[in-house]
């Protein structure tokens, strides 16, 4: 036995919380209190190669965490290393081609190897303490101080399951090598065994942990490679601390490893089993227990496990399950608690790390531990005991439909990310072809790239960079219409490549991490042009200082930034309860010109926008015969198109708001008058008197005009029919808000009022709470608020799907606003809040009539329910989308049955059910019975409905414009959805044919993938041995 | 995981007269494409004691943000000396280069800046009224202080945690241990762009 302590393995002198050896034995990783993960060269600790160049020792430093790194674990295939941290996230790192970089400003030399974070797993609401990969690397389990265990799907990076049964901090997780269970240990002094088939609780074990005292950093329990034992940590049996061992099946404490003087923090089984050679001295003493294997073989040849135990008493002990006494005790290695252990792949070296910031390696030889069983022997042993392991890894699928839907659901989640990357898919499927393709394109950019290569060389070489006269940077700068400067940077060097470094000299697309697929080098270079053209186009069209929401054909402008509505006690109010005051903006803006632009989309893109401008003018009016000259305040209104004045007018008083669209213009004045002009500037109506100054104004695409006055009255008119659609007041918002802000009771600040895309008034307060007026309910609905701070779903609204969703915008505002507030506390979500949040989001998006957001939210909600296996809710959702039983449905189609509408926001409910809800449900097999039930029901419906049952009365629920266009968009929007119609008979026959073919190939790919994976596993194991 | 890593910042044209524009050549690598532009800001700290003397010299949007390595030159006007207290012009102050994504600041590079007269005689006997044209500005470009803040670059991820909204709990200061620094490089959460106080 040789022991060593490499002093150069350190994390700036801070604690090292975790250590793990790469399964191919080339590297080992450490995680420490300095928030970093470090990857070290195994050669540098090899007993033979002590004189390795010190620069080659540390291969990489990963600085992606914002908290102490508590756990690092390599995947079994060795390509990824996962790290869990106090910052609540898990990062997955992978080696990328190219040379390593350093962090700017760190002053450290560049890394030897280029390791980069490729995936971030977010979901825990407290420190992640322990993580472990599943035996087949398809999943990752993580234990956290939020009392949960999360199970992550490592293909998609999505959390598939949250295990909640522990009553206190979860500090250790371990996988059954057979794949049937996982075990977790918690500060609640229990160990829970979970079934991986449906994630139910198999057994909660109370045992020798009950009497344990004191707290420990970790409770890293371990599962023996034979699958028979779980050795747990932090037990106590008077007078010693112990590591209680549970036996498979009974899950009861079988025996304890006794002897440590302080709590046991970590146990680690050797990856293999060992046996005595015939030559070695036969073990005379036998313990009363054995491995549970058949005792037919000679006792000496019976394989046993080797286990290392690390404790707070600073010692490490190594035991075999063939002897009741430790084989080896390592004292005085560390100054503080041992917190993590790892065995080398050959099984003869043990790595340990400690809170004192050091690591130690202990190398054994076969005479000490015995002879290692080969992988085949171990497999054979497991096979004899548990049957063929393959096939029982996961829970069984009960119907082929489940499989189909699962592929659909993975595609769905994948496509979400793919959308942002250009040409990603081709890259994944055919890397080699792609190289050829790109080669041509590259030629044109050769010069550029050479320059770039130089540049990266330089950046790596710090000394030369700082002094070098840099070659001119080829960047493009322009001003956006809103006056902001935008730079398109110059691309330098080699962008991140898709081709990943093969671990064992074998390159294939095993387990592609979706977020790790950032597109090929083309997406780094060429799309710069195209996407830029896109966005600049959009900006020219869309971004103008004063128009925000509806850039194309309408515009509005208001002077006031905000509006305060105060609820004054009834006695003091003279004419009403409401008194509206403008708080900001009015004084500064007295001289400001108002300007709006309206783009008439119909006339083509080339036409310049029509601008309406209001400039205050002061005239000294000489009245003949008057004693003095009086100043008359007037505002000149002028309408221009590219410099040429179309019409102009003068209004008395100061203009506060402007609005316009291709049909009309509206000008509101300080004195409470409102003037409406026709397109050509005729005064369409006599001046309308509002009683107080207009503060917010908005118009839709056609004839609707919204106005909010200073006193908080809100009007919506249909100017075409000269009708008032709505007259209400913001008063109800005041009362609803009083309780929240007790300091200034009865006051609200309004920051914006506008018409939502669905044509209803939408008010946003300074608190960023948003309210929508429902014209059928005739009351205000709160559609965005901050009631769910700890929801996992918070801030999850994307701005991605082409036109940024309306609700999303509101949500983001709320989040941003909340973020500024001081006071941040860790709130643990028990799932209730997330659910409530999703439900309210769903209802809000329905109220806003935002179909794409509705769909998105529905998906998330169903996925959440599926994950939680909330069958009753899922059933209700499905039923609401399915409609009344078939017989009734037929009756309903014939006459007007109001009870069930087959459309929601213009989308057929059945289509949503078939394309979105059911695939989303497929993510958890626990609900597959329910899924099958609805699959059957749905297909029944679609059989009864004639195939050409064209949408009757196309948009039944919608009364105003705007939505039909988004309807089209829905249909053409996400490519994956339409391409993955499973099973059932679709309306368009060809499509469904093509689809089924696509699906089949999809499955084939899947299978080859898994074969690859097995091969790969096999290989890595062989390599290891 | 930060989608953007800054790989190098070269201070061009340094030292330079106080009244000449700033020039930074910024190189960064992007690991995941982002939908929105990055916003880079250059802030001149006018007074160590009072934040209100901070001057935002330049704010530019850089994009599109695609995977790869990029560089650009950020040019900014010099600070307006009339907005700096007379006694604060000469001496050491701080220049902040920040980068934000969708209103969330995730990176901050701080440089010490020394302003002094080039002329030996002026340096020894500074005139009562600052001769701004004679002041030389020297950025200590080899000692950047880099601070990162955790933000969520992909808020559409279903698993998105609350990280994006939380004020950075413990910003990592790469040169932890330099305590005196906290005064000049306050680790504050990103400043709101507009700050409507709650009523």
Asked if A150 and A161 touch (Cβ cutoff 8 Å), the reply is: yes
Q: Which residue has the higher pLDDT, A530 or A598?
A: A598
| Nearest residue in chain B measured CA to CA from A496 | B68
**Quick one: average pLDDT of A639-649?**
76
Q: What percent of chain B has pLDDT over 70?
A: 76
Q: Which residue has tokens 């227990």? A: A289
Q: How many CB pairs under 8 A join A and B?
A: 249
Considering A192-196, A566-570, B129-133, B191-195, the range whose residues carry the highest mean pLDDT is A192-196
In a domain, B34, yes or no: yes
Q: Domain end: A338, A359, A384, which one? A: A384
User: Each residue of A570-599: b (16+ CB within 10 Å) or e?
Assistant: eeeeeebbbbbebbebbeebeeeebbbbbb
Q: Is A837 left (phi over 0), alpha (psi -120 to 50) or beta?
A: alpha
**Quick one: average pLDDT of A686-710?**
80
- What lies within 8 Å, CB to CB, of A373 at 6+ separation is A272, A273, A274, A275, A303, A381
In 3-state terms, what secondary structure has residue A75? coil
Q: How do residues A402-443 score in pLDDT, each as one tens digit?
A: 777 777 766 655 444 433 333 333 333 334 444 444 444 444
Partner-chain contact B109 A104, CB within 8 Å = yes
Burial class (CB in 10 A: 0-12, 13-18, 19+), A437: middle
In a domain, A845, yes or no: no
Of B2, B7, B196, the CB nearest to A64: B2
Q: What is the pLDDT of residue B49?
A: 80
The least confident of A181-190, A230-239, A275-284, A665-674 is A275-284
Q: Which of A403, A409, A394 is nearest to A158 (CA)?
A: A409
Considering A325-329, A392-396, A803-807, the range whose residues carry the highest mean pLDDT is A325-329
CA–CA distance, A79 with A38 (Å, rounded to integer): 15
Give B47 to chain A, closest Cα distance, Å: 24
Any chain B CB within 8 A of the CB of A559?
no
Of B66, B102, B162, the CB nearest to A794: B162
Of B31, B61, B72, the CB nearest to A484: B61
In a domain, A350, yes or no: yes
What's the sign of the alpha-carbon dihedral A409, A174, A501, A448? Answer: positive
In a domain, B185, yes or no: no
**Quick one: average pLDDT of A289-310?**
65
In a domain, B36, yes or no: yes
Partner-chain contact B164 A748, CB within 8 Å = no
Q: Which residue has the higher pLDDT, A597 or B71?
A: B71
Partner-chain contact A490 B146, CB within 8 Å = no
Domain extent for B53: 4-148
Burial class (CB in 10 A: 0-12, 13-18, 19+), A424: buried
Q: Which residue has tokens 């990076």? A: A157
Question: CATH number, domain at A367?
Answer: 2.130.10.10
Partner-chain contact B159 A88, CB within 8 Å = no
Residue B197: count other Cβ atoms within 10 Å of its Cβ: 8
Residue A318: count other Cβ atoms within 10 Å of its Cβ: 22
Considering A112-116, A428-432, A972-976, the range whose residues carry the highest mean pLDDT is A112-116
B158 vs A contacts (CB less than 8 Å)? 158, 413, 793, 796, 860, 863
Residue A475: count other Cβ atoms within 10 Å of its Cβ: 16
Split at pLDDT 50, 70, 90, the class of B165 is very low
Q: Domain end: A358, A384, A410, which one? A: A384
Q: How many Å from the N-terminal Cα to the C-terminal Cα in chain A? A: 20
CA–CA distance, A852 with A969 (Å, rounded to integer): 9
Rg of chain B (C-alpha set): 18
Considering A593-607, A672-686, A835-849, B123-137, the range whose residues carry the highest mean pLDDT is B123-137
Q: What is the pLDDT of residue A435?
A: 41
Q: How do residues A854-885 score in pLDDT, each as one tens digit?
A: 888 888 888 888 888 888 888 888 888 887 76
The least confident of A208-212, A307-311, A914-918, B183-187 is B183-187
Interface test with B, best of A487, A488, A566 (most B CBs within 10 A): A487
A697: β partners? A707
Q: Give the helix ranges, DSSP H, for A544-700.
A: none
Q: What is the pLDDT of residue A349?
A: 92
What's the sign of the alpha-carbon dihedral A748, A749, A751, A753? Answer: positive
For residue A689, give both structure tokens: 């008197």
Provide the ipTM.
0.71
By residue count, chain A amounts to: 1025
Asked if A65 and A37 touch (Cβ cutoff 8 Å), the reply is: yes
Partner-chain contact B64 A819, CB within 8 Å = no
Q: What is the pLDDT of residue A586?
A: 33
Asked if B60 and B69 touch (Cβ cutoff 8 Å), the reply is: no
Split at pLDDT 50, 70, 90, the class of A828 is low
In a domain, A649, yes or no: no
B31 vs A contacts (CB less than 8 Å)? 116-118, 496, 518
Average pLDDT, chain B: 77
Partner-chain contact B199 A748, CB within 8 Å = yes
| Nearest residue in chain B measured CA to CA from A152 | B159
Give B76 to chain A, closest Cα distance, Å: 11
Cis peptide before A239 (omega within 30 of 0): yes
Q: Which residue has the higher pLDDT, A210 or A308?
A: A308
Q: What is the pLDDT of residue A633?
A: 66
Q: Domain end: A339, A359, A384, which one? A: A384
CA neighbours closer than 13 Å in the CB half-sphere of residue B199: 25
Of A486, A561, A795, the CB nearest to B160: A795
Q: Which of A147, A178, A180, A174 is nearest to A162 (CA)?
A: A147
**Quick one: average pLDDT of A516-533?**
35
Interface test with B, best of A69, A88, A104 (most B CBs within 10 A): A104
**Quick one: average pLDDT of B150-177?**
48
The count of domains in chain A is 2
Q: Which residue has the higher pLDDT, B153 or A469?
A: B153
For residue A36, give both structure tokens: 């970093």
Q: What percent of chain A has pLDDT over 90?
A: 19
**What's phi and psi for A904, nearest 5 deg?**
-130, 120
Q: What is the pLDDT of residue B2?
A: 67
Q: How do residues A726-772 score in pLDDT, each as one tens digit?
A: 888 777 776 544 444 444 445 667 777 878 777 788 888 777 778 88
The least confident of A121-135, A293-307, A939-953, B114-128 is A939-953
Of A524, A531, A795, the CB nearest to B162: A795
CA–CA distance, A309 with A327 (Å, rounded to integer): 11
CA–CA distance, A318 with A326 (Å, rounded to integer): 6
Asked if A850 and A758 touch (Cβ cutoff 8 Å), the reply is: yes
Question: CATH number, domain at B91?
Answer: 2.60.40.1490
Of B37, B109, B159, the CB nearest to A105: B109
Residues in A 656-675 with any Cβ partner in B closer than 8 A: none
**Quick one: average pLDDT of A993-1019?**
42
Whether the predicted pLDDT of B136 surpasses 60 = yes
- What lies within 8 Å, CB to CB, of A575 at 6+ separation is none
What's the sign of the alpha-carbon dihedral A856, A862, A865, A867? Answer: negative
- What lies within 8 Å, CB to CB, of A457 at 6+ separation is none
User: Each residue of A197-214: b (16+ CB within 10 Å) or e?
Assistant: bebeebbebebbbeebee
Q: How do residues A576-605 score in pLDDT, each as one tens digit?
A: 333 333 333 333 333 345 666 655 444 444
The count of domains in chain B is 1
Any chain B CB within 8 A of the CB of A915?
no
Q: What is the pLDDT of residue A787?
A: 66
The least confident of A10-19, A121-130, A818-827 is A818-827
**Quick one: average pLDDT of A923-937?**
81
**Quick one: average pLDDT of A155-165?**
89
Q: Which of B151, B56, B59 is nearest to B102 (CA)?
A: B151
Partner-chain contact B25 A470, CB within 8 Å = yes
CA–CA distance, A220 with A90 (Å, rounded to integer): 17
Of A468, A535, A795, the CB nearest to B164: A795
**Quick one: average pLDDT of A217-242?**
90
Give A527 to chain B, closest Cα distance, Å: 8
Average pLDDT, chain A: 70
Q: Which of A173, A303, A294, A161 is nearest to A225 (CA)?
A: A303
The least confident of A192-196, A681-685, A1001-1005 is A1001-1005
Domain extent for A379: 2-277+302-384
């Amino acid at each position: 036995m040789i022991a060593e302590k490499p002093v150069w393995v350190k994390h700036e002198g801070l604690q090292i919380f975790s250590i793990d050896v790469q399964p191919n034995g080339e590297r080992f990783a450490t995680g420490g209190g300095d928030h970093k993960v470090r990857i070290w060269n195994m050669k540098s600790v090899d007993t033979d190669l002590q004189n390795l160049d010190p620069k080659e020792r540390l291969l990489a430093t990963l600085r992606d965490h914002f908290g102490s790194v508590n756990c690092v674990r390599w995947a079994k295939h060795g390509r990824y290393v996962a790290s869990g941290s106090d910052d609540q996230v898990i990062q997955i790192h992978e080696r990328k081609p190219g040379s390593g970089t350093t962090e700017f400003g760190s002053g450290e030399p560049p890394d030897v190897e280029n390791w980069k974070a490729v995936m971030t797993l977010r979901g825990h609401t407290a420190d992640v303490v322990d993580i472990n990969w599943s035996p087949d690397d398809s999943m990752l389990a993580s234990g956290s101080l939020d009392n949960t265990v999360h199970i992550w799907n490592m293909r998609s990076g999505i959390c598939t399951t949250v295990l909640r049964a522990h009553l206190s901090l979860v500090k250790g997780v371990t996988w059954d090598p057979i794949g049937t269970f996982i075990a977790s240990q918690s500060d609640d002094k229990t160990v829970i065994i979970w079934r991986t088939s449906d994630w139910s609780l198999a057994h909660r074990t109370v045992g020798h942990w009950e009497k344990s005292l004191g707290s420990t950093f970790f409770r890293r329990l371990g599962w023996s490679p034979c699958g028979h034992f779980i050795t747990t940590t932090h037990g106590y049996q008077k007078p010693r601390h112990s590591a209680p061992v549970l036996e498979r099946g009974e899950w009861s404490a079988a025996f304890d490893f006794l002897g440590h003087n302080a709590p046991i923090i970590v146990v680690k089984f050797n990856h293999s089993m060992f046996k005595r050679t015939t030559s070695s001295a036969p073990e005379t003493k036998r313990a009363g227990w054995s491995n549970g294997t058949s005792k037919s073989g000679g006792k000496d040849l019976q394989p046993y496990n080797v286990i290392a135990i690390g404790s707070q008493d600073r010692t490490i002990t190594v035991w075999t399950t063939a002897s009741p006494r430790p084989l080896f005790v390592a004292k005085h290695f560390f100054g503080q608690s041992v917190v993590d252990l790892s065995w080398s792949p050959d099984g003869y070296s043990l790595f340990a790390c400690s809170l004192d910031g050091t690591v130690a390696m202990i190398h054994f030889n076969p005479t000490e531990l015995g002879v290692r069983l080969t992988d085949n022997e171990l497999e054979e042993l497991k096979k004899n005991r548990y049957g063929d392991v393959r096939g029982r890894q996961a829970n069984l699928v009960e119907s082929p439909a489940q499989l189909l839907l699962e592929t659909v659901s993975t595609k769905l989640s994948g496509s979400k990310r793919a959308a942002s990357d250009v040409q990603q898919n081709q890259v994944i499927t055919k890397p080699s072809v792609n190289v050829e393709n790109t080669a041509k394109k590259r030629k044109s950019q050769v010069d550029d790239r050479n320059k770039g290569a130089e540049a990266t060389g330089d950046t790596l070489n710090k000394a030369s960079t700082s002094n070098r006269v840099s070659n001119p940077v080829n960047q493009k700068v322009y001003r956006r219409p809103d006056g902001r400067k935008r730079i398109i940077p110059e691309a330098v060097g080699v962008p991140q490549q898709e081709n990943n470094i093969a671990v064992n000299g074998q390159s294939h697309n095993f387990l592609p991490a979706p977020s790790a697929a950032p597109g090929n080098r083309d997406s780094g270079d060429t799309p710069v042009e195209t996407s830029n053209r896109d966005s600049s186009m959009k900006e020219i069209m869309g971004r103008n200082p004063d128009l925000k929401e509806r850039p194309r054909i309408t515009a509005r402008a208001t002077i006031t930034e905000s509006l305060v509505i105060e609820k004054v006690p009834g006695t003091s109010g003279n004419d009403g309860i409401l008194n509206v005051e403008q708080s900001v903006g009015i004084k500064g803006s007295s001289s400001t010109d108002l300007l709006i632009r309206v783009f008439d989309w119909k006339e083509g893109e080339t036409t310049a926008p029509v601008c309406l401008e209001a400039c205050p003018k002061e005239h000294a009016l000489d009245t003949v015969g008057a004693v003095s000259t009086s100043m008359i305040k007037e505002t000149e209104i002028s309408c221009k198109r590219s410099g040429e004045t179309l019409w102009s007018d003068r209004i008395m008083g100061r203009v506060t708001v402007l609005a316009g669209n291709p049909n009309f213009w509206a000008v509101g004045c300080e004195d409470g008058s409102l003037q409406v002009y026709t397109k050509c500037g005729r005064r369409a109506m006599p001046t309308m008197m509002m009683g107080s100054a207009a503060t917010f104004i908005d118009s839709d695409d056609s004839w609707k005009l919204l106005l909010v006055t200073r006193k908080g009255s809100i009007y919506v008119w249909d100017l075409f029919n000269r009708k008032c659609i709505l007259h209400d007041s913001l008063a109800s918002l005041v009362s609803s808000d009083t309780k929240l802000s007790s300091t200034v009771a009865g006051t609200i600040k309004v920051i914006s009022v506008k018409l939502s895309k669905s044509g209803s008034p939408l008010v946003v307060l300074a608190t960023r709470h948003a309210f929508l007026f429902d014209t059928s309910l005739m009351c205000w609905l709160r559609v965005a608020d901050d009631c769910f701070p700890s929801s996992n779903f918070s801030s999850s609204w994307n701005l991605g799907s082409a036109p940024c969703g309306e609700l999303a915008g509101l949500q983001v505002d709320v989040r941003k606003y909340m973020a500024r507030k001081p006071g941040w506390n860790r709130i643990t979500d028990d799932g209730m809040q997330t659910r409530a949040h999703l439900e309210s989001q769903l209802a809000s998006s329905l109220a806003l009539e935002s179909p794409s957001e509705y769909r998105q939210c529905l998906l998330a909600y169903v996925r959440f329910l599926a994950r939680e296996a909330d069958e009753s809710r899922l059933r209700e959702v499905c039923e609401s989308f399915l409609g009344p039983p078939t017989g009734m449905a037929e009756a309903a189609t014939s006459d007007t049955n109001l009870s069930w509408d087959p459309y929601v926001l213009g989308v057929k409910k059945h289509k949503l059910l078939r394309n979105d809800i059911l695939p989303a449900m497929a993510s958890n097999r626990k609900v597959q019975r329910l899924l099958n039930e609805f699959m059957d029901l749905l297909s029944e419906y679609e059989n009864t409905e004639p195939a050409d049952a064209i949408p009757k009365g196309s948009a039944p629920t919608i009364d105003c414009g705007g939505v039909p266009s988004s309807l089209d968009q829905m249909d053409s929007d996400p490519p994956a959805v339409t391409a993955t119609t499973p099973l059932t008979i679709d309306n368009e026959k060809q499509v469904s044919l093509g689809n089924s073919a696509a699906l089949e190939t999809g499955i084939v790919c899947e299978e080859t993938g898994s074969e690859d994976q097995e091969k790969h596993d096999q290989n890595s194991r062989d390599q290891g041995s | 995981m930060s989608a953007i890593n800054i790989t190098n910042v070269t201070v061009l044209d340094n030292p330079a007269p106080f009244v000449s524009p700033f020039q930074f050549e910024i190189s960064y690598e992007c690991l995941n494409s982002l939908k929105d532009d990055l916003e880079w800001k250059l802030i001149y700290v006018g007074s160590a004691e009072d934040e209100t003397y901070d001057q935002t010299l330049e704010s530019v949007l850089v994009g599109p943000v695609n995977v790869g390595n990029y560089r650009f030159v950020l040019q900014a006007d010099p600070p307006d000396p009339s907005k700096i207290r007379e006694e604060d012009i000469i001496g050491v102050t701080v220049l902040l280069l920040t980068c934000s994504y969708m209103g969330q600041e995730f990176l901050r590079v701080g440089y010490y800046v020394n302003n002094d007269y080039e002329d030996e005689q002026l340096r020894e006997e500074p005139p009562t009224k600052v001769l701004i044209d004679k002041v030389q500005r020297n950025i200590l470009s080899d000692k950047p202080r880099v601070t990162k803040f955790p933000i969520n670059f992909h808020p559409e991820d279903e698993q998105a945690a609350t990280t994006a909204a939380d004020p950075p709990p413990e910003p990592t200061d790469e040169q932890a241990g330099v305590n005196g620094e906290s005064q000049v490089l306050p680790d504050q959460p990103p400043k709101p762009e507009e700050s409507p106080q709650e009523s």
